[in-house]
Structure 1
């Protein structure tokens, strides 16, 4: 019996997330288009800029990003490695505090302003409650990250059509979970006059039953829950100590393990929903 931890929710092999920075008013058009195609993503906001020229208003944040994730981007968008650590801590914590008041839930994600980070910044993230941080160092592949606090995307949105075509055509031969992670700024579409890319992308990958459309944090939480499964010494039993269901591949079967449940993985075993 072979058990593989390589399935997204509902046993899917492909996941798509999008990630946009700054909170410029062009996010309104971006979100409207994403919603039309069932795309979901994460919006990293500078709380100190909201309400200023070209930025979103504070009172529209919760409604605009409903169904997506609100995430941190610092209060004032500094180069984090080049300011005192005490100030960096304040930038991160105060951004979380301000955004959580608007979002109504804990904000525990980040994208590095200017894509700038170093080891000292990464080392402080746990202490300020940041569970993941996105870079701008596109790697061009569909792999899951080794370290969520140095999480690099697949591509910028200007390259997303080519990557989506490859991702869809190669999905039958992926050895493991295949994540397409697109990042950018909504004002890039306006500046480069290429909003049509977003519609092309939506028509290509949107509203499909074989793709998990997720926010950054949903991917983090699911990955942690999947890797947190506890197995018996024989490998025949699996216990999910988390609160969310996960899926595993067992030989040619896909098995759902609900939060708090213990299941038998052998094909001839009766389902067991005991909670430990």
Structure 2
């Protein structure tokens, strides 16, 4: 295969994916706006969008384009293709019901976290997160619970690749401080997020570790800092999560 053609093909595929990503972040965009974003001609952007629209991956509404539901099919396939999803979702749903808060299941892929499943208890608050959302690992209890059980060299590669951006004043942005936090997480068995990603939101998370001591993901309970405090934040919810994680880990082993 010609090297130039191969390079052009890869660039075209990447531009297509970047356009979809831009539509996701902007919740829709016009041809003119995308042309300015990618420094491409309007005709080139129109060709990309027309192709994506024809195949159902974007939808045109007036002059703007948005993500199409065809991508939901791909996302659903990816979700159900994760073994941890089937093993853990019922337990996470029960966790939400028992705690009354928002319960989450997160897995790591390519150094980022992805919400695989979420369940709302009676008192659960609405947040900016959703199933399939990609998040950093360093600024969430879920992500820290996973990172604390990965080899240090792997964590270093993740930090080097994705950085440690500050999302609130409580975000850990220093490697040494983060690794010190990992020691506490491994000692206690759970991780705490005190408004590190979202102001006013606290989270308690526990890793899911298989029979080979490999971390499969993490589960958590999130809620407003006004409710997640004191004994509930540092004892009641951690104990609840550890019990649920134990059940999930047994299910993984004997599934």
Q: Normalising TM by the smaller chain, what interval?
A: under 0.3
TM-score (norm 1): 0.23
Q: Which has the larger radius of gyration?
A: 2
Q: Would you tell me which structure has more helix in proportion to its own residues?
A: 2
TM-score (norm 2): 0.25
